[in-house]
Amino acid sequence: MFYRLLILLSTLGCFVFLASPGCSSDSRTLRPTGGSSDSDSDADSDSDSDSDSDSDGDAAGGDYLEIDNVWYGYAWPEVGNPEADEMSPSDFSKLDDGDQMCLAGTLAKDGIGSYGMIAFNIKQEPDGEPETLPVQGDGITVALDIETGFNLYQVELHGPRANPGDEHNVWCHNIVGSGGTYRWDEFYTRCYNNLNPGDAYAGEPIEFISITVPGNLSSIPFDFCIADIIPEETIDEGTDDLYPEKSGEICLDTGKENVYTQDPDVGYKISNNVWNPTGGEQCIEYDNNSFEVTKQTNSTGGGAPTGYPSIIYGAKTQSEITRFSKLPKKVSDLGNVTTHWRHNAGGPSGTYNAAYDVWFNYSEEEWNEVSDQGDLPTAAYLMVWYHSQGGITPIPSNTGQRVNIAGVSWEVWTGNPGPSGAKHIAYVANGETELTIDLKDFIDDAVDRGVISESYYLSAIQAGFEIWSGGAGLKTTEFRVDEDSI
């Protein structure tokens, strides 16, 4: 059984939706409250330390949200740094009946405290103060319409504001793709940390719920609507729901999508990753843990590749993390890192390679602090080239040495830093199209050579094709990480 959110907005009046929760009406609508009875004890206009537009959720006139006798109160859009962040609309007073609540804007680069969100109170009488209640049922289903940007969205449960900024007063869940169904006991006080997610939500009182775009050190554009929010009374915990089959096409340069495998159940991320475009277009089609480059008309002619369409496991950046990942993990604590990759490099024409790109950071949190790929990884790159054609070579220099791993003889290249300035080591073969390898063997060799330290954190494993030109038809047929070995 579930309760469905129906968003109906009255056109009467021209009032802002204000912050804080509520619970009392039988109706399932948004209705105007009329009047202008501001009961603020503060006089803030988002200059206080709380995260709302009006910290007590007063009823200064406007439309009122009621959801199936479960949640009711005022709703509002908000950014965390009004002096630097941009958002539109500034309120929801212009919406017509049946309109979605939408928010567009840009979060400031290097903006401390920047975020964008649509929030609504869950227990608030039309003219009353926001109150709190524990969320009911097993969880929530969220569906977003994302127009611009492939940011990391999240659902947040906000407790009372007696201690604003207290991380133990907000519980969050990353939104996979454009939405999903999430159990309340899967919400934690730290969204981005797989190893230390903080405290799980355990029925504490909640004041309001938000859909949030978190800021980071890069400028973040966003444009999204809430298509649906459904409080779920019961949720089947079957793995098909946690790891749904998924296929589609990505043509946006920065486009990416969460994908999964079942039996075993593992989450991955498909990324088009055109990071050096030259005016052409690249498209990929994906089907769970496989993908194919269906169009590629960029051409750099030399120097850096135009892009790296790939499949990712782990925590690369804020927008490139995989669900339930065992990474980041300290090198000294790693077990085996067994992977399997099958592809068709060598068949399609063009200048490209087929390579793993394995990222290491100095700490387990750095991938969360920086979203711009130019700033990561901080410690080291480790690349494993299965195949190359067109005369391309790795950034480091050929040492003239070889190492035998997984029954293959690999050239060892070291010396020059990668794009972020991190140490770089590459292992190069040619013509390998399918291997099961333990990346720990490569990591151990790189430790022995002084390129990687056991104090570094393995953050992300990627497999794909660095393309300089051509490459249409390149296909990863299968990629797997045995995360139980990690």
Residue 445: the pLDDT is 97
The pLDDT tens digits of the residues spanning 11-47 come to 222 222 222 222 222 222 222 232 222 333 232 323 2
Buried b (16+ CB within 10 A) or exposed e, 425-452: bbbbbeebeebebbbbbbbbbbbeeebb
Where is pLDDT greater, at 249 or 416?
A: 249
pLDDT surpassing 70 at residue 237: no
The pLDDT tens digits of the residues spanning 259-298 come to 888 778 898 999 999 989 999 999 999 999 999 999 999 9
Where is pLDDT greater, at 484 or 356?
A: 356
The pLDDT tens digits of the residues spanning 390-448 come to 999 999 999 999 999 999 999 999 988 877 889 999 999 999 999 999 999 999 999 99
Residue 77: the pLDDT is 92
Which range, 107-121, 145-159, 208-222, 406-420, is most confident? Answer: 406-420
pLDDT surpassing 90 at residue 87: yes
* Residues found in the chain: 486
Confidence class for position 4, pLDDT limits 50, 70, 90: very low
The pLDDT tens digits of the residues spanning 164-220 come to 555 558 999 888 678 888 889 889 887 765 556 778 898 899 999 999 988 776 788
Cα dihedral: 124, 130, 133, 139 (round 10): 70
Cα dihedral: 321, 322, 323, 327 (round 10): -90
Residue 462: the pLDDT is 97
pLDDT surpassing 60 at residue 53: no
